[in-house]
């Protein structure tokens, strides 16, 4: 491999390489990011914003530190709802997508049904599920499942039904059994498009969990944000928002890492394109 270290002179220890490359690419963004928070920090005093409307970032940090145990506990609650719903969605949507891609009956029945459901905002069902199933974990998991399921299943259908003609013919000309063609060609070929769905759904998962908690719950970050806002504590609400952002980033990062691990060839193809 001709790595970047042979192209650019190494300035520090090996771990420094990717870091310095990232810095070279992203310094403008980092500056903007820091500038944004500095502006926020000074504007509160400058425009004399009342604290029940908005706090300074530094005050948000202090408040989060004071309430850290509860914030962490609620992050765990919301994270659990999001991850369970997400994993169940993958476990059901991928095999179902595969079945729909290969069954002409399912393609003409369930598939159009799914496409039309995709048009309705799933989150609109949330109050119903809460009223049917109460305040516990289950209704939240179901709502997360709903907002994750459709992007995964629709991308999986696309993934499994778009093998290039040439590749399909090549496989048929070998006389290989269906299962062997599936493991060696169809499944790996479908992975990139499946991951489009996984990544999209990972972003939906925390949104689903948060809104479900808004509607009815007694714990979790969505609940925390709602209560804090009601108590005119925007500092605590922002602390919750910050942790939700971290949770979303963590889930998206895990899926991206899985993508790198499972289909590294796709990443490098994409980068070269």
Partner 1 sequence: MTAAVQLSNVSKTFGAGADAVHAFGPVDLAIEGGAFISLLGPSGCGKSTLMLMIAGLLAVSDGEIRVNGERVSKPRTDIGIMFQDNTLVPWRHVEGNIALQLELRGLDPKANQPKIDELLKSVRLEGFAHRMPHELSGGMQQRAAFCQALVHDPKTVLLDEPLGKLDAMTRESIRNDLQALWMQKRPTVVFVTHSIEEAVQLSSRVCVVTPRPGRIDRVIDIDLPWPRDLAVKRSARFANYVADIQGIFHGFGIL
Interface with partner 1 by CB under 8 A: which residues? Answer: 164, 166-167, 169-176, 180-181, 184-185, 188-189, 263, 265-266, 268-269, 272
In the bound state with partner 1, the residue whose beta carbon lies nearer, of 55 and 193, is 193
146 CB neighbour count, 10 Å cutoff: 20
In the bound state with partner 1, the residue whose beta carbon lies nearer, of 108 and 184, is 184
In the bound state with partner 1, the residue whose beta carbon lies nearer, of 69 and 164, is 164
In the bound state with partner 1, the residue whose beta carbon lies nearer, of 92 and 163, is 163
In the bound state with partner 1, the residue whose beta carbon lies nearer, of 92 and 263, is 263
| Torsion angles phi and psi, residue 65, rounded to 5 | -65, -40
In the complex, the smallest distance separating the C-beta of residue 188 from partner 1, rounded to whole angstroms, is: 5
- Give the Å distances, CA to CA, from 57 to 32, 33, 235, 242: 16, 13, 8, 11
In the complex, the smallest distance separating the C-beta of residue 192 from partner 1, rounded to whole angstroms, is: 9
DSSP codes joined into one string, the chain: ---HHHHS---S-TTHHHHHHHHHHHHHHHHHHHHHHHHHHHHHHHTT--TTT---HHHHHHHHHHTHHHHHHHHHHHHHHHHHHHHHHHHHHHHHHHHHHH-HHHHHTHHHHHHHHHHS-GGGGHHHHHHHH-SSHHHHHHHHHHHHHHHHHHHHHHHHT---HHHHHHHHHTT--HHHHIIIIIHHHHHHHHHHHHHHHHHHHHHHHHHHHHHS-SSSHHHHHHHHHHTT-HHHHHHHHHHHHHHHHHHHHHHHHHHHHH-HHHHHHHHH-
In the bound state with partner 1, the residue whose beta carbon lies nearer, of 51 and 172, is 172
In the bound state with partner 1, the residue whose beta carbon lies nearer, of 181 and 225, is 181
In the complex, the smallest distance separating the C-beta of residue 176 from partner 1, rounded to whole angstroms, is: 4
In the complex, the smallest distance separating the C-beta of residue 196 from partner 1, rounded to whole angstroms, is: 16
């Amino acid at each position: 491999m001709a790595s970047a270290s042979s192209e650019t002179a190494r300035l520090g220890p090996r771990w420094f390489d990717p870091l310095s490359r990232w810095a070279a690419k992203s310094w403008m963004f980092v500056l903007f990011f820091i500038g944004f928070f500095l502006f926020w920090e000074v504007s509160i005093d400058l425009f004399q914003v009342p604290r029940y409307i908005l706090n300074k970032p530094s005050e948000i940090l202090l408040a989060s530190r004071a309430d850290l145990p509860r914030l962490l506990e609620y992050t765990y609650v919301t994270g659990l709802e999001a991850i369970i719903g997400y994993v169940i969605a993958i476990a059901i949507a991928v095999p179902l997508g595969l079945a729909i891609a290969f069954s002409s009956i399912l393609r003409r029945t369930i598939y159009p049904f799914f496409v039309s459901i995709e048009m309705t905002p799933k989150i609109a069902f949330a109050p119903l599920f809460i009223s049917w199933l109460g305040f516990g974990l289950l209704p939240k998991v179901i709502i997360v499942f709903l907002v994750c399921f459709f992007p995964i299943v629709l991308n999986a259908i696309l993934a499994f039904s778009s093998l290039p003609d040439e590749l399909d013919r090549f496989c048929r000309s070998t006389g290989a059994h269906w299962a062997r063609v599936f493991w060696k060609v169809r499944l790996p070929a479908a992975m990139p498009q499946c991951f489009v769905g996984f990544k999209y759904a990972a972003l939906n998962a925390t949104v689903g969990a948060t809104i479900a908690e808004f509607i009815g719950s007694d714990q979790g970050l969505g609940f925390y944000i709602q209560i804090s806002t009601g108590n005119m504590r925007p500092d605590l609400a922002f602390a919750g928002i910050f942790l939700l952002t971290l949770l979303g980033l963590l889930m998206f990062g895990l899926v991206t890492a899985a993508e790198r691990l499972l289909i590294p060839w796709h990443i490098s193809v994409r980068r070269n394109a």
